């Protein structure tokens, strides 16, 4: 089953192509194993949190609508505002073709993986302009893949040499075929 998200939608809609949902968080909350949400172009100001799982044979997929590039910008109002958190329970998940940007706060990341998050595929992303980290995974996470993505211009507001485009802890992670550049206050 394929569902749709668009800036002109409503979360009370059924999520069809002609009546899409409005928020990506609605898709994260609603999709079951094997289901897909295609996100239409536009800017979505959200602090997404995923703590649900698909299965190894039927992952949950959030991806761009073909030929379009949706942008997830961190919402404001918290101490740390993050476009995407992958928390305990998040597993067998694919997130492809999005731009994630604008994380703010003293301990923040555009993508933050924590708890028991595992078996997550992040591909064809652009991750930019975080106040601290582009991607950060806690030591309790496992098997997160970052593939064919562009990480740039993350960091700059933390202590010298402490902001990074990608900071990986955990086990069994993979970073491949990605461009990682211009960490103004740290390392790629």
Q: What is the mean pLDDT of residues 148-163?
A: 89
Q: How does residue 137 score in pLDDT terms, banded at 50, 70 and 90?
A: very high
Determine whether 63 is exposed, middle or buried from the number of CB atoms within 10 Å of its CB (0-12, 13-18, 19+).
middle
Q: Please report where in the chains the tokens 């059924």 appear, as a residue.
A: 14
Q: How does residue 145 score in pLDDT terms, banded at 50, 70 and 90?
A: very high
Residue 157 has pLDDT above 90, yes or no: no
Q: How does residue 185 score in pLDDT terms, banded at 50, 70 and 90?
A: confident
Listed as own residue / partner, the contacts of 153-156 with beta carbons closer than 8 Å and 24 or more positions apart are: 153/128, 153/129, 153/182, 153/183, 153/184, 154/110, 154/127, 154/128, 154/129, 154/130, 154/183, 155/130, 155/131, 155/183, 155/184, 155/185, 155/186, 156/131, 156/184, 156/185
Name beta bridge partners: 116. Answer: none
Instruction: Considering only residues 108 and 157, tell me which one the structure prediction assigns the higher pLDDT.
Output: 108
C-alpha closest to that of 175 among 149, 152, 155:
149
Q: What is the mean pLDDT of residues 30-36?
A: 98
Say how many residues make up the chain. 188
Q: Report d(CA 174, CA 74) in Å as an integer.
A: 25
Q: Report d(CA 81, CA 40) in Å as an integer.
A: 23
Q: How does residue 93 score in pLDDT terms, banded at 50, 70 and 90?
A: very high
Residue 49 has pLDDT above 90, yes or no: yes
Q: How does residue 58 score in pLDDT terms, banded at 50, 70 and 90?
A: very high
């Amino acid at each position: 089953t394929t569902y749709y998200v668009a800036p002109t939608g409503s979360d009370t809609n059924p999520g069809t192509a002609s009546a899409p949902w409005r928020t990506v968080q609605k898709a994260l909350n609603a999709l079951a194993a094997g289901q897909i949400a295609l996100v239409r172009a536009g800017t979505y100001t959200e602090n997404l949190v995923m703590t649900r799982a698909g299965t190894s044979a039927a992952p949950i997929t959030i991806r761009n609508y073909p030929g379009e590039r949706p942008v997830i910008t961190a919402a404001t109002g918290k101490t740390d505002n993050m476009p995407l958190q992958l928390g305990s329970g998040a597993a067998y998940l694919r997130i492809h073709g999005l731009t994630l940007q604008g994380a703010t706060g003293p301990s923040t990341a555009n993508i933050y993986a924590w708890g028991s998050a595992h078996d997550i595929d992040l591909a064809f992303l652009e991750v930019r302009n975080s106040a601290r980290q582009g991607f950060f995974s806690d030591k309790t996470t496992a098997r997160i893949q970052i593939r064919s993505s562009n990480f740039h211009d993350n960091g700059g507001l933390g202590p010298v040499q402490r902001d990074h485009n990608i900071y990986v802890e955990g086990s069994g992670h993979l970073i491949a075929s990605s461009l990682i550049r211009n960490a103004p206050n740290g390392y790629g």
